[in-house]
Structure 1
């Protein structure tokens, strides 16, 4: 047998035929749409009009820079973030505020806010049967608040710190009054919360200030007592006297050391000059002596006189000798005076050394005193810091206390929000919008009816066609001309027998759930049931073929002659439905073969056949049963609602066909359908799908 691929895609939707059904049923579509539109118009016209008004609140600080404690600060107070604004939304819609507004406006007296006042008949039935709680059992205050929540909408305007309060009501004046009152109640709650916070602050600060005052006194007393005990005299620049003296003494010691070093150096230099007999003109200490300066001046004068007289007098002249003698005496005096200067320098160096030693002793003693003073100074500073911290905290608390007290007495505690847009009574209701509702109902009903009509056309099979061919018309029961060119057309009706295609179309048109095929001529005629099942499956129907022939001739070509579990296994309780239902190799049809169980064992459970047939009929659009050559009693268990009986034949003149037809007619099966499989094996699309 040749292997042929699955041809489930041979069936296509004829869009022209599909949408032509809209034109064919336009009157029904229009009438239903008009009825639905009229009903929607009446409902909208009779509905209670609802009005909606909106109040807007801006979240901002209301504190004045003049009244802020820190007027120099750049901040204008707390500015809420997105989470903070969302929190204020919850505060505005809180139960406490709604209860207050409901009480102020006496909303409990309005039937609009009392579900128990005018209950509809369905609600009364639900309450009486216990399926719904009686609204009267709920406290009146809770009923009013619940009704307010249904009509109230509070939300934050995106990208801002604005909160919108919307309220809807059948009374336009009330629709504007409620959101305004809710906004005012919210501001009042904010103000009360600030007053309470201010009162709590003053009550907490008062004992804290008294406690801090005592602690400041105690800290300052400790500072004074420590100063008295430690004997820390304070010098200039508020520093400890010992430390200041230590600094001054260190400076003096450095100066004395420098003088001593300079004197010793000068004395050593002058001593070396005198001992070497060198000229004393290079010694600055000698030259700085007034006496030596005068002697040098006298020496210059004597040398000038000697030079003048040497021009006119000889060297042995008494006057020249006298002048030379005076000059020699001056040199001796200068050296004597230089030695005196050296002695003075040495004395100065010794004096400086003695002064240095004295200062060093004083410095060592003062260091010990300063070290003790530093330790005491550290302790003193610690006490002073503690006293200063307590004093600063006390001053801060006292400033806050005075501020809170003045705010409380002056009743100046503005809420951090303001109403910048009050609700006005709306002129037009927002519901119902009669014209938009009517138009929408008309358009929607037209669309729904069009979809229903299209679905009916699809499910009926009238809009189906074979791919590459004309549409598959179950009413005309004819093949298009194009198909006739591509492949041989099945034989025409012979002696009242239908072709396979006509039989399949008739079963689809009649919405048959079961098709019982009887084949008096044996296995060759059983091919009709297989062909019809495949034809209907190709049309998009869910089809199952049940093979009840003794030889299994109907299911063998569908399963490629493989032995598989089937109806006998199901009757013998050896398998389940999922085990015995198999797919046809050459179409979308399913098949239950004869099976592999013992037929005698299976026939003992033949009473289960009606149950099996009902289960299969509920799962498939059509169940085709091939019974082979049988009599009316043999098919009695298989009959049911929407069942068609078909007689498959090859030769109408065959005696077996005639006898079987008369037997079934005598048993009351007058509407038996005659089907002939002759020529169908070479039929549709040229496929060689042989059934036997």
Structure 2
């Protein structure tokens, strides 16, 4: 039970389908036939398709992309173009070209006038805007135009393909030729609409450029005139092609000369200062460039070298005081004085050069300052002139750009091509696209089977009866002690189940009661029950048949058994055993109107029976009387087994009285008939009043059908063990 509750029981689902297979197939067959008949009445529709390709490459004679750009292959351009195909401008163009307003397929008002099936549609549409009787001709025309547009749009489909930059245009109609004609017309209208859109965009661009060029030309003339007037008024004459004034050029030249003069003066001053420093220290001035380059100094140095050579020669022959040596020394002193005098003259010359350079520098500085003062006024005017010239240049550039753009658009207007072209025209379809019989029939079959399964599930959910011992134990909380198979006419012919039990002692029916006796005995091993009560929740559930069969089976087993019919309201024991009805019964005995031997009936099997002959006005009190208790005590001592057939639990309270006098009770539940709620209420009374209850007997079970309710019960394996029985 716990395993079964953990998830979906596949076996249970299969069993449910097997139980309801003919119901499912029957409902499915009826619904499928109905769907087939309905599909046969549908008007077939045909779909024709044409394919257009988006052009992303263009023939460019001039650069027009800045005015009217081509379509880009990126992004959702294909989806955008597919939406344009279904735009009102394209669809209306097709309606006007093919005269679809006069076609009843797309104009419901024409069908209404002709008494067609769709006559209700125009009334519904006109009711949206007012009463049909109050529509003006203009309103009627508007409603009719809108209706035709929506009808045509409903049959139009576009299927964009971004990878191939193509769009499939499909149209569905009841006429196959009309479908192809409209699909091709839509493609042509779309291409023409693209071309006209480009022409219109180019025309608007040319008109705007013409107006703008006229304004820019006037602005350019005014700007250039203002530049010339200002130049003339301020005497701003250009000295070169760069536009600079004469003062500016002179100022630049003087500035350059001043820089050079300063550099020259600084260089001469540095050489002069160096010479003075060496002379003050008494160093060698021969390294000074001016001294080194002086020819006088060079000659005197040569003479010094010659005298030094002569002195060396004379010194090798004469002493230091020789006249020749003294003469040479005197000449050397004279040459030294001459060299010093020459160096002094060179220093004076360098000093003069420094003074001249400084004078020239001061002169250039004064000239530069004068020009700077004169140029300051020109610079202020020149700033204004530059501003005027920039305005004029910007206006000229803008004017030339617009003029170039205008010439490009004018030249390209005659070379415009649409953004798409038809690559595959629609052909007349050979087979209808709607209704798709195979798909619809398959769907109808699936839906019919689903409806059948739904009905089966609904009936299964509404089924409130018992089918398996597992259901009994889970629902009632009581053990199931036995399963009694159904004995129908196919098995027993005209014999009653009790007669069949006697004739077929090895049958599954007889085996069921032997098993029930064994289960009852094992329910209390120490003290097996001797008095057993049979009851049920409602009448007609087979308790009397079960009690009689149980008693007969025990009697045939050699036990001394008596069957006591205690159903005072509807006695059936005598009829079930086909005994002769006596003159007195249980009521007469308890009323002390007859002896026990007078009310006993004897069955051929050895079974004794106490029947009910006459009813009573107080059955409950009678069954609870002391005489009844004495009778039960006597029967308990006399017989091995006392079987009591009592009334149902729910209708009357007789069973409660009897249950107090017995050892145990067997509660009979009829397979596929006893309601679960009734059985639960009846069992609840046993628990409430503390009455003895051994368990439940599932009676009249169709074993061949029970196996369809799942595995586990004996019926599921009946085909495997049926050879053990002789039915």
Indicate the TM-score class for this superposition, using the shorter chain for normalisation. Answer: 0.5 to 0.7
Mapped to 1, the partners of 2:14 and 2:426 lie a distance apart of: 57
Aligned to 2:600: none
Mapped to 2, the partners of 1:193 and 1:15 lie a distance apart of: 65
State the secondary structure of the residue aligned to 2:365: helix
Q: CA RMSD in A?
A: 4.7
- Write the mapping of 1:289-300 to structure 2, written as runs, cut at 5 A: 289-300=294-305
- The CA deviation at 1:254 is 3.4
- The CA deviation at 1:182 is 1.0
Please identify, of 156-165 and 337-346, the stretch whose mean Cα deviation from structure 2 is larger.
Answer: 156-165
Matched, 1:198 2:235: no
Mapped to 1, the partners of 2:229 and 2:212 lie a distance apart of: 26
- The CA deviation at 1:212 is 0.8
Q: TM-score, normalised by structure 2?
A: 0.59
Cα deviation 1:228-276 (Å, max 9, x = unaligned) = 3252543586655545544443443333333333333433444455566
Aligned to 1:662: none
Q: 1:676 to 1:230 in 2, by over 3 A?
A: farther
Aligned to 2:236: 231
Work out which of the residue numbers 128, 151, 157 in structure 1 matches 2:155: 151
Q: TM-score, normalised by structure 1?
A: 0.62
Matched, 1:347 2:347: no
State the secondary structure of the residue aligned to 2:198: helix
Q: 1:480 to 1:367 in 2, by over 3 A?
A: farther
Cα deviation 1:178-232 (Å, max 9, x = unaligned) = 1221121122122112211211111111121122112122222333333332525
Q: 1:69 to 1:158 in 2, by over 3 A?
A: closer
Mapped to 2, the partners of 1:269 and 1:336 lie a distance apart of: 18
Mapped to 1, the partners of 2:12 and 2:387 lie a distance apart of: 101
Aligned to 2:423: 420
- The CA deviation at 1:423 is 1.9
Aligned to 1:513: none
Matched, 1:59 2:70: no
Mapped to 2, the partners of 1:235 and 1:306 lie a distance apart of: 72
Cα deviation 1:502-530 (Å, max 9, x = unaligned) = 58999xxxxxxxxxxxxxxxxxxxxxxxx
Mapped to 1, the partners of 2:402 and 2:185 lie a distance apart of: 38
- The CA deviation at 1:41 is 3.0
Work out which of the residue numbers 386, 390, 401 in structure 1 matches 2:391: 386
Work out which of the residue numbers 499, 505, 515 in structure 1 matches 2:536: 499
Work out which of the residue numbers 217, 240, 259 in structure 2 matches 1:213: 217
- The CA deviation at 1:308 is 3.6
Mapped to 1, the partners of 2:296 and 2:124 lie a distance apart of: 144
Q: 1:14 to 1:491 in 2, by over 3 A?
A: farther
- Write the mapping of 1:161-560 to structure 2, written as runs, cut at 5 A: 161-228=165-232, 229=234, 231=236, 233-235=238-240, 239=244, 241-271=246-276, 273-274=278-279, 280-311=285-316, 323-408=328-413, 410=414, 412-462=415-465, 467=470, 469=472, 480=483, 499-500=536-537
Mapped to 2, the partners of 1:289 and 1:349 lie a distance apart of: 18
Q: Contact 1:232/1:373 (CA < 8 Å) preserved in 2? A: no
Work out which of the residue numbers 43, 62, 85 in structure 2 matches 1:48: 43
Mapped to 1, the partners of 2:201 and 2:125 lie a distance apart of: 49
Work out which of the residue numbers 60, 84, 102 in structure 1 matches 2:95: 102
Q: Contact 1:22/1:453 (CA < 8 Å) preserved in 2? A: yes
Q: 1:236 to 1:207 in 2, by over 3 A?
A: closer
Mapped to 2, the partners of 1:126 and 1:279 lie a distance apart of: 129
Q: 1:129 to 1:352 in 2, by over 3 A?
A: closer
Q: Contact 2:236/2:382 (CA < 8 Å) preserved in 1? A: no
State the secondary structure of the residue aligned to 2:52: strand
- The CA deviation at 1:397 is 0.6
Q: 1:29 to 1:230 in 2, by over 3 A?
A: same
- The CA deviation at 1:52 is 0.7
Larger Rg: 2
Aligned to 2:82: 89
Q: Contact 2:111/2:119 (CA < 8 Å) preserved in 1? A: no
- The CA deviation at 1:79 is 1.5
Mapped to 1, the partners of 2:445 and 2:280 lie a distance apart of: 141
Q: Contact 2:24/2:455 (CA < 8 Å) preserved in 1? A: no
Matched, 1:112 2:115: no
Mapped to 1, the partners of 2:423 and 2:325 lie a distance apart of: 126
Mapped to 2, the partners of 1:446 and 1:116 lie a distance apart of: 41
State the secondary structure of the residue aligned to 1:360: helix
- The CA deviation at 1:395 is 0.9
Please identify, of 221-230 and 677-686, the stretch whose mean Cα deviation from structure 2 is larger.
Answer: 677-686
Mapped to 2, the partners of 1:36 and 1:87 lie a distance apart of: 44
Aligned to 1:689: 687
Q: Contact 2:108/2:122 (CA < 8 Å) preserved in 1? A: no
Q: Contact 2:111/2:118 (CA < 8 Å) preserved in 1? A: no
Mapped to 1, the partners of 2:523 and 2:249 lie a distance apart of: 129
Mind listing any 5+ residue stretches in structure 2 that lack a counterpart? 485-514, 544-616, 626-649, 668-678, 691-727
Mapped to 2, the partners of 1:132 and 1:315 lie a distance apart of: 155
Mapped to 1, the partners of 2:12 and 2:65 lie a distance apart of: 84
Cα deviation 1:641-663 (Å, max 9, x = unaligned) = xxxxxx997456689xxxxxxxx
- The CA deviation at 1:102 is 1.7
- Write the mapping of 1:551-630 to structure 2, written as runs, cut at 5 A: none
Matched, 1:79 2:72: yes
Q: Contact 1:202/1:404 (CA < 8 Å) preserved in 2? A: yes
How many residues matched? Answer: 513
Q: Contact 1:52/1:175 (CA < 8 Å) preserved in 2? A: yes
Please identify, of 197-206 and 61-70, the stretch whose mean Cα deviation from structure 2 is larger.
Answer: 61-70
- The CA deviation at 1:333 is 2.1
